């Protein structure tokens, strides 16, 4: 089993910055990717960014240049640096981990952390 604990969410003014953290525990040896998704009220959960164990990252096109994902493998932690925040970034942000068990891969989710950007 994998447990994910997020931190760093809060209220910020438009144009400001936040840094989210997510620490993984449990069967972390089987995790091959981590990342962040977000969900606003009435909308589907959408990709923010992911990063593989090898360090390859992928971003939503609209967020490139403002958000940066990184990992600290020694601490089993993934980060999301969010700069130049906009009101449309307001959402619950969920940490994501992909775990491989044999030939099958399973998604794991954190509890979510609220990010609110005021105009």
Cα(90)–Cα(99) distance, integer angstroms: 28
User: In terms of DSSP H, where are the helices of the chain?
Assistant: none
* Reported confidence tier of residue 113, pLDDT bands at 50, 70, 90: very high
Q: Is residue 1 predicted with pLDDT exceeding 90?
A: no
Identify which has the larger pLDDT, 111 or 54: 111
Per-residue pLDDT of 7-53, as tens digits, reads: 999 999 999 999 999 999 998 888 999 999 999 999 999 999 999 98
- Radius of gyration from C-alpha coordinates of the chain: 14
Cα(69)–Cα(81) distance, integer angstroms: 6
| Residue in 4, 11, 7 with CA at minimum distance from that of residue 115 | 11
Mean pLDDT of 42-69: 94
User: In terms of DSSP H, where are the helices of 25-102?
Assistant: none
Cα(77)–Cα(69) distance, integer angstroms: 11
* Reported confidence tier of residue 111, pLDDT bands at 50, 70, 90: very high
Per-residue pLDDT of 73-109, as tens digits, reads: 888 999 999 999 999 999 999 999 999 999 999 999 9
48: Cβ contacts below 8 Å, ≥ 6 apart: 35, 36, 37, 38, 59, 60, 63, 67, 69, 80, 93
């Amino acid at each position: 089993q994998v447990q994910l604990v997020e931190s760093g969410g809060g209220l910020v003014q438009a144009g400001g910055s936040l840094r989210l953290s997510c620490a993984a525990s449990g069967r972390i040896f089987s995790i091959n990717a981590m990342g962040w998704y977000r969900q606003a009220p009435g909308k589907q959960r959408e990709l923010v960014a992911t990063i593989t164990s090898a360090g390859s990252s992928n971003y939503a096109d609209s967020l490139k240049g403002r958000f940066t994902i990184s990992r600290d493998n020694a601490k089993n932690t993934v980060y999301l640096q969010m700069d130049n925040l906009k009101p449309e970034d307001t959402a619950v942000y969920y940490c994501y981990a992909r775990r491989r068990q044999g030939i099958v891969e399973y998604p794991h989710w954190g509890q979510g952390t609220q990010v609110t950007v005021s105009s």
